[in-house]
Amino acid sequence: MTEKIYFNHDGGVDDLISLFLLLQMDNIELIGVGVVDADSYVVPATEASRKIIDRFGHGTQLSVAVSNSRAVHPFPKEWRLAAYSENSLPLLNESGKITTPEASAPAHVDLFNKLQRTADPVTLLFTGPLTDLARVLKSDPSIEKKIKRLIWMGGTFLEKGNVAEPDCDGTQEWNSFWDPDAVKTVFNSSVPIDLVSLESTNNVPLTKKIRQRWASQRRYPGLDFIGNSYAFVPELNFFETNSTYYLWDVLTTCYLFDPSIVKTKEIKCDVKLGFPSGGQTFLTETGRKATLVYDVDSTKFFDLIDRLAKETEQP
Ligand code: AGV
Ligand code: CA
């Protein structure tokens, strides 16, 4: 049976690649897409999403909903700008028009409506902040029963997160830091959660070697799209910097397709609120249950990306 998926992302380079990969998966049915103004500017990120569905969606009929959720802690502008580059890729602009429409409702309402109308429970894939989901759960807690599970790229239980801002203590992961209260609201629900946190994503940095692997296969349009998209962000060279890119969301999306590429364990966790640790996720016996993805078989992972991207079209 195909699994119904609603995808809420925040327009980063790996969010958009995740959308492309989702459209290649034959074991899922994508029922909705929402875009948040977080690690991107939402206008180009939404247009790019619509163009990716047009170009790589194999005729999938979808609309893309724009979120009106706003940051508690905004992302650095330098990172958000990549959405303009993505939206300008010649590969996405060959036809000069966009067919996939923008949804009429804002993203949290679009999600709510789709959950209300569904007969079978839906799996939620979130690769940005949880704000839209928190708003849905607050507006009607009984909607929970329509959610099969949430797969979220966010949080970390390591000592060091990936936020380097003056108003935090450096323990947070960015998607959690953007809106800590939203994480708390979702943790307080009884929705089953799979967390793809920095524990596993730290094992899959973007490297020169992986760029070369994609470049040498650019005759496949899907791998050309992936290689061009990652060209907008820096790889890991000699040491990690604040901008070093990892395959955070792409790992999360591939885990949905094939959980055998990762290792998981059951945990109990909570999230801190307020200054200076707001957004820090931590383990506690009194916390909520979650499944933590903490390791990945990188060979299987990169092979899977190739396989999905090559199936879309032969050169
Ligand atoms: O914390 C990881 C999340 C993922 O959803 N994002 C990027 C991925 O889309 C935020 C982020 C952390 N470090 C970054 C980020 C960086 N160096 N560049 C861009 N975004
Ligand atoms: Ca993201």
pLDDT value at residue 171: 98
Ligand closest to the CA atom of residue 8: 2
**pLDDT over 80 (residue 1):** no
What is the per-residue pLDDT across 7-52, written as a single tens digit (0 to 9) for each?
A: 999 999 999 999 999 999 999 999 999 999 999 999 999 999 999 9
Please report the ipTM that was assigned to this predicted complex.
0.99
Q: What is the average pLDDT value for the chain, to the nearest integer?
A: 97
Tokens describing residue 75: 């992302």
pLDDT for 313? 75
Q: Residue 311 has what pLDDT?
A: 84
Classify 11 as helix, strand or coil: coil
Would you give the end-to-end CA distance of the chain in angstroms? 30
pLDDT band of residue 315 (cuts 50, 70, 90) is: confident
Please work out whether the CB of residue 20 comes within 6 Å of at least one atom of ligand 1: no
Mutation probe of ligand 1 site: the residue of 20, 75, 86, 174 with most atoms within 8 A of C-beta: 174
**Between 150 and 315, residue with greater pLDDT:** 150
Per-residue pLDDT averaged across 253-282, rounded?
Answer: 98
pLDDT for the residue 251: 98
- Closest-CA residue, ligand 1 atom 1, reads 174
- What is the pLDDT averaged over residues 94-100? 98
pLDDT band at 208 (very low <50, low <70, confident <90, very high): very high
Q: Cα of 174 to ligand 1 centre, how many Å? A: 7
Which mutation among 21, 75, 79 tests ligand 1's pocket best, with the greatest number of atoms within 8 A of CB? Answer: 79
Alpha carbons within 13 angstroms on the beta-carbon side of residue 71 total: 18
- 155-160: long-range pairs with CB below 8 Å, 24+: 155/183, 155/195, 155/197, 155/198, 155/269, 155/271, 155/281, 156/197, 156/198, 156/199, 156/281, 157/197, 157/199, 157/267, 157/269, 157/281, 157/282, 157/283, 157/292, 158/198, 158/199, 158/202
pTM over the 0.95 mark: yes
Q: What is the pLDDT of residue 117?
A: 97
pLDDT digits (tens, 9 = 90+) for 284-307: 999 999 999 999 999 999 999 999
d(CA 124, CA 122): 6
Q: How far is the CA of 56 from the centre of ligand 1 (A)?
A: 24
For the chain, percent of residues with pLDDT exceeding 70: 100
Q: Check if 79 has its Cβ closer than 6 Å to any atom of ligand 1.
A: yes
**Ligand 1 centroid distance, CA of 32 (Å):** 22
